[in-house]
């Protein structure tokens, strides 16, 4: 039996979602192992240097940064040219992602999980995070996507975090005047790609039969009749 790369994942984690998005878009196949974060499997802890998801093991290579996993997948196949932005250079595209992963994510965490931080003021953190969202809204005002007329790495690296922010208080989010941002997120949430990466998987335990991602179609001789 062919051995596939192994992806340790957690369905709702935005970092894991972005990794699965790139893997699905690239047409790669991995063995998906859903991790229970409050009771992490020993095999996962032995594999991931940081004990965080997502973590990809490809032979002896281990990647435990979500952006590295995206680049791993797209480096093998990039049919939609996510790594070749339409109306921006690569440096500008990666800067959008850096701002998401840095300042925005910090404020998002302190907004969503404000009780975990003794010095966090929920409304202030939401306001600070919103500065980045208004910036994205202005970027989207020039086209349907962040870097031009078609999707790029920036869109799918950032959208899972915008979804997490929005779902913290969806009524408040939808009442803002960032109409381009709302449309961008809604298009993502109803897309076939998003649905492909968000089914519910059973928690993996050693000895379980493998779950392949994306789900492989049935072979003709195994299809039910």
In the chain, domain spans: 6-79+194-222, 90-189
pLDDT of residue 222 exceeding 70, the answer is no
b/e map of 139-159 (b: 16 or more CB within 10 Å)? Answer: bbeeeebbbeebbbbbbbbbb
Higher pLDDT, 224 or 20: 20
Distances (CA, A) of 97 to 27, 169, 193, 205: 23, 23, 20, 33
> For the chain, what is the mean pLDDT?
93
When pLDDT is cut at 50, 70 and 90, the band that residue 2 belongs to is: low
Other Cβ atoms closer than 10 A to 115: 8
Percent of the chain with pLDDT over 70: 95
When pLDDT is cut at 50, 70 and 90, the band that residue 224 belongs to is: very low
Render pLDDT for 114-156 as a digit per residue (tens, 0 to 9). Answer: 999 999 999 999 999 999 999 999 999 877 899 999 999 999 9
Contacts of 118 (CB under 8 A, 6+ apart): none
pTM over 0.85: yes
67: nearest Cα among 142, 124, 120, 17: 17
Q: Does domain 6-79+194-222 have CATH number 3.40.30.10?
A: yes
Q: CATH class for domain 90-189?
A: mainly alpha
């Amino acid at each position: 039996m062919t051995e596939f790369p192994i992806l340790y994942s957690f369905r709702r984690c935005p970092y894991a979602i972005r990794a699965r998005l790139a893997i699905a878009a690239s047409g790669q196949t991995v063995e998906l192992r859903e991790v229970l974060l409050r009771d992490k499997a020993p095999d996962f802890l032995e594999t991931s240097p940081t004990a965080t998801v997502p973590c990809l093991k490809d032979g002896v290579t281990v990647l435990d940064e979500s952006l590295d996993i995206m680049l791993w997948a797209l480096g093998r196949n990039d049919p939609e040219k996510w790594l070749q932005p339409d109306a921006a250079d690569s440096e500008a595209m990666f800067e959008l992602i850096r701002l998401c992963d840095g300042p925005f994510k910090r404020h998002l965490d302190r907004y969503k999980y404000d009780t975990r931080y003794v010095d966090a003021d929920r409304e202030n953190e939401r306001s600070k995070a919103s500065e980045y969202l208004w910036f994205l809204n202005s970027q989207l005002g020039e086209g349907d996507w962040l870097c031009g007329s078609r999707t790029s790495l920036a869109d799918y690296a950032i959208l899972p975090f915008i979804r997490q922010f929005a779902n913290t208080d969806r009524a408040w989010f939808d009442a803002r005047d960032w109409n381009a941002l709302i449309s961008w997120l809604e298009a993502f949430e109803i897309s076939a790609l998003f649905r492909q990466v968000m089914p519910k998987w059973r928690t993996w335990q050693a000895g379980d039969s493998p779950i392949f991602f994306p789900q492989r179609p049935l072979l003709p001789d195994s299809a039910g009749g």
